[in-house]
């Protein structure tokens, strides 16, 4: 029997790869976008025919459209969530839409009789607000860890993803009888791009290639390939017996300097603008007094936020691209599409 899945946020980076994988596997896909004016453009990118891919207008901040989008679906992958390049002054600008959007998708799923709901959460809901001793080499985060919201230094985005996942799990416990729930928690997502609508993580690679980052701060993050994140969602939708599961989707933790070294080594002349100089910590800390973006970076100096995806690999047979391949494929696609001119 053909299965129908709602993938929210169809114009997003992860959602695009997920939709293509689901269509290739024979699913019928419903997807939400904020405006149907983008349907023709997205249909070309996603490769779905009219019969296998349907678009619905729905927004995280409004009830309109959600019931129609979920109608007839057996599964939901709730991928949509706000992720801005700049830190908002009011955390509620992110927390509200993330939480309320998840609850709207859940309510619509229940009305439609959906049997499994997969939420794209984040490492942001796992690895923040902990004591300093957790952020050193050798310490590893797992699915058992949760970001500590009692810590006032937790940034708005991390707060929004934590609140949204907590709210979804609480809703399932109270209201979700008959519907299974799984969360997927990726770290920074890289990989090939298909257009110029870039995620925040991809923007970092773009800025390195363009020389927009003049020197490298002592900051890093876990990296995972978008193709692997989409694949983990498919497994979470498909495989039986996963109710309540939480899957941390992460490859290795790399610093800016390590990412820059991969670009230099693998791209040669095309990476000539990639910086090699290190940015001293004291420069970042001084700049943080005047810049919200640098303030966020200053809080990450020297921290190692490493996680393990052993649970996903063992539980559902998930595999990962080598991290160097992911970084190079990201850069190569930016160059080939002339988003970055070298």
Which residues are known catalytic residues?
Answer: 161
Q: How many CA atoms lie within 13 A of 147 on its CB side?
A: 26
Q: Are 18 and 234 in contact (CB under 8 A)?
A: yes
- Cα–Cα dist 205/207, whole Å: 5
Token pair in block for residue 13: 């980076």
Query: Which are the contacts of 206, defined by CB distance < 8 A and separation ≥ 6?
Result: 198, 212, 334, 339, 340
End-to-end CA distance of the chain: 49
SS (H, E, C) 145-170: CCCCCCCCCCCHHHHHHHHHHHHHHH
Q: Are 116 and 180 in contact (CB under 8 A)?
A: yes
């Amino acid at each position: 029997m053909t299965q129908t899945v709602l993938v929210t946020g169809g114009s997003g980076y992860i959602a695009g790869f997920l939709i293509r994988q689901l269509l290739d596997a024979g699913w019928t896909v419903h997807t939400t976008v904020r405006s149907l004016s983008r349907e023709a453009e997205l249909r070309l990118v996603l490769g779905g025919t009219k019969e296998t891919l349907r678009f619905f207008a729905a927004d995280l901040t409004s009830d309109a459209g959600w019931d129609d989008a979920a109608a007839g679906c057996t599964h939901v992958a709730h991928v949509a969530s706000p992720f801005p390049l700049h830190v908002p002054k009011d955390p509620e600008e992110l927390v509200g839409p993330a939480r309320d959007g998840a609850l709207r998708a859940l309510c619509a799923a229940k009305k439609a009789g959906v049997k499994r709901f997969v939420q794209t959460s984040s490492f942001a809901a796992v690895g923040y607000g902990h004591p300093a001793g957790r952020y050193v080499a050798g310490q590893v985060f797992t699915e058992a860890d949760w970001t500590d919201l009692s810590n006032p230094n937790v940034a708005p985005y991390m707060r929004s993803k934590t609140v949204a996942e907590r709210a979804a799990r609480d809703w399932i416990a109270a209201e979700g009888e008959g519907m299974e729930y799984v969360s997927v928690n990726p770290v920074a997502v890289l990989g090939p791009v298909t257009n110029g609508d870039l995620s925040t993580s991809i923007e970092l690679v773009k800025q390195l290639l363009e020389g927009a980052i003049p020197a490298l701060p002592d900051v890093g993050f876990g990296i995972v390939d978008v193709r692997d994140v989409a694949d983990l969602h498919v497994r979470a939708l498909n495989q039986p017996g996963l109710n309540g599961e939480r899957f941390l989707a992460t490859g290795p933790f790399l610093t800016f300097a390590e990412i820059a070294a991969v670009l230099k080594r693998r791209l040669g002349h095309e990476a000539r603008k990639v910086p090699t100089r290190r940015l001293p910590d004291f420069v970042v800390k001084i700049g943080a007094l005047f810049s919200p973006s640098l303030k966020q970076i200053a809080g990450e100096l020297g921290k190692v936020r490493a996680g393990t995806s052993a649970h996903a690999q063992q539980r559902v047979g998930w595999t990962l691209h080598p991290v160097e391949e992911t970084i190079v494929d990201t850069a190569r696609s930016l160059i080939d599409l002339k988003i970055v001119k070298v």
